[in-house]
Amino acid sequence: MNQISAISQGGKFLFLEHVAFPDSHLGSKVQNFAAPLWKLFFDGCILNRKTAEEIRKGGFSNVKCENKFPSELWLFFRPQVVGIATK
């Protein structure tokens, strides 16, 4: 999120990221269990990050995002968020 602060007023941040499963999904429990080792072995990747929530807290004037669950991806990468945030 530190790099996002460099976006000027009216600028757009486009994002696509694998994110946490919804809390009610069994996959969320698996992600939460695996997250500490995942971060260690995969270069700091936060498996259970709630990216959309973090971006909404980032001081943007408008955030539009959509959750996707592409079945062709490996289970841990299925929950995805894609969107545009305007500063």
Q: How many CA atoms lie within 13 A of 29 on its CB side?
A: 3
Residue 39: pLDDT band with limits 50, 70, 90:
very high
Can you give the pLDDT at residue 41?
96
Residue with tokens 């490996």: 74
Predicted confidence (pLDDT) at residue 2 exceeds the cutoff of 80: no
Between the alpha carbon of residue 49 and those of residues 9, 22, 30, the distances in Å are 26, 11, 13
Q: What is the pLDDT of residues 5-37, one digit of tens each?
A: 788 899 999 999 999 999 999 999 999 999 999
**Rounded to two decimals, what is the model's pTM?**
0.81
The encoded tokens of residue 79 equal 């929950």
Rg (CA), the chain: 14
Residue with tokens 């539009």: 64
